[in-house]
Amino acid sequence: MAKKIAEKIPTWISRFLLPEIRNIVKEEISNQLKPIEAKISALDEKIEERTKSLDSKIEEKTKSLEAKISALDMKISALDSKIEERTKALDMKIEEKTKALEKEIISLRNEMNEKAKSLEDKISSLRNEMNARFDSIEKRLPLIERIALMEARIEKIEKQIGIH
């Protein structure tokens, strides 16, 4: 803009007046910048104050949260140890009951084996007795057949005689 003005103004005026105009414009701009800079500086200070306030609040909240987290960590640690203790106690109870059940199973197996052996002995005895009876019947079979024949003859004779 200054160049356009300088082209239209004769050179002798531009030599004297333009530097003066430039100085005046710079001074005016500088004068207008000072209040703007002061306002910006004031805004920066306000922002800084609010930021400090927020920073302190954030720091307080952070410390509070850290304290709460620390307390929670301690509670969790305590719960973990309680869970571990209870788990160990339960494992011991399970182990005891398992051993008792194993003993009971062994006892029941032994009892079952004894009963099975007793039954096998009884079955063996009954087999022997049956075999003896069958042997006795087989030995008596010819005698029984003779008696049956004799009874048949007696019946025949009785019919012939008319007794029956």
Contact indicator for 162, 153 with CB cutoff of 8 Å: no
* Domain residue ranges in the chain: 2-161
pLDDT above 90 covers a percentage of the chain that reads: 37
Q: Please give the mean pLDDT across all residues of the chain.
A: 85
Which pLDDT tens digit goes with each residue over 145-155? 888 889 888 88
Picking from 30, 32, 28, 23, the residue whose alpha carbon sits closest to that of residue 2 is: 23
Does residue 23 have a pLDDT over 80? yes
Mean of pLDDT values over 81-103? 95
Q: Which two tokens stand for residue 15?
A: 């030599």
**Cα-trace Rg, the chain:** 63
Does residue 106 have a pLDDT over 80? yes
pLDDT at 65: 93
- How far is the C-alpha of 164 from the C-alpha of 161, rounded, in Å? 8
Q: pTM for the whole thing?
A: 0.40
pLDDT at 61: 93
pLDDT at 4: 63
Contact indicator for 21, 3 with CB cutoff of 8 Å: no
